[in-house]
Structure 1
Amino acid sequence: MEFKESQAIYLQIADHLCEQILLDKWKPDDRIPSVRELAVQLEVNPNTVMRTCEYLQQYDIIYNKRGIGYFVSENASKKIIQLKKERFLANELPQFFRNMYLLDMELDELKPHYEKYKKSNFK
């Protein structure tokens, strides 16, 4: 996994794990790989993965069975979508709107581009 400088590594790992859940690679009550396994797979320090797990546990996306490992929570997908929407609205949308304003664009101009994007990327 290649990491960006613009965001903390543990948050990028959290996004990666959340993506696995949203793509149904891990379903509710599935055990996710151990902290050590993830650290080796992602080539990061186990403490970084542990921080990621604590972060996801804080939002009830995963839960810990002591001595067994971490598991996907029942409503993880809904919680991930809610969290991602909140982050998008707070962090990305203001810049997007600023660019639209500077380019003198209206929302209705974007709809055909959005529809084309959905068709080509999510068939």
Structure 2
Amino acid sequence: MDFNNNKAIYLQIAEHVCEHILLGSWKPDEKIPSVRDLAVSVEVNPNTVARTYELLQQKGIINNKRGVGFFLDTDAVRQVLAYRKTIFVEEELPQVFKNIYLLDIGINEIVDRYQTFIERNFKKD
């Protein structure tokens, strides 16, 4: 996994886990990789993954079944959407708005480009 220097590694791993959940490769109520296994796969110290899993537990995305391992919560997808939306709205969107303002991009152009993006990347024929 390639890490960005602008954000804590444990938060980047949390985003990685959330992407697996949103893409459906990790399903609710299923066991997820152990701290050690995920640490090996993303090439970090297990303590970093432990911190990630602690955060995800606090957010209600995963839970620990003592002696068995970590599992996605039944409501993991909804929890991930809420978590990721909060991060986007509070941290990323203000920078996007700043750039839109500075570059004098109109709302109609934004809407047109967004619709084109959706059509090209997510509409199935």
The alignment's TM-score, normalised by the length of structure 1, stands at 0.96
Q: What root-mean-square deviation, in Å, do the aligned CA atoms of Structure 1 and Structure 2 show?
A: 0.9
After superposition, give the CA deviation of every residue in 1:60-109 in whole Å (9 maximum; x if it has no partner).
00000001110000111111111111111111111111111111222221
Q: How many residues matched?
A: 123
After superposition, give the CA deviation of every residue in 1:15-69 in whole Å (9 maximum; x if it has no partner).
0001001111111100001111111111110000100000000000000000111
| Structure 2, unaligned runs of 5 or more | none
The sequence identity of aligned pairs, in percent, is 54
SS of equivalent residue, structure 1 residue 90: helix
| Structure 1, unaligned runs of 5 or more | none
Distance in 2, matches of 1:36 and 1:16, equals 16
Distance in 2, matches of 1:104 and 1:61, equals 39
The alignment's TM-score, normalised by the length of structure 2, stands at 0.94
SS of equivalent residue, structure 1 residue 64: strand
Task: Give the aligned partner of residue 117 of structure 1.
Answer: 117
Deviating above 3 A after TM superposition, structure 1's stretches of 4 or more consecutive aligned residues are none
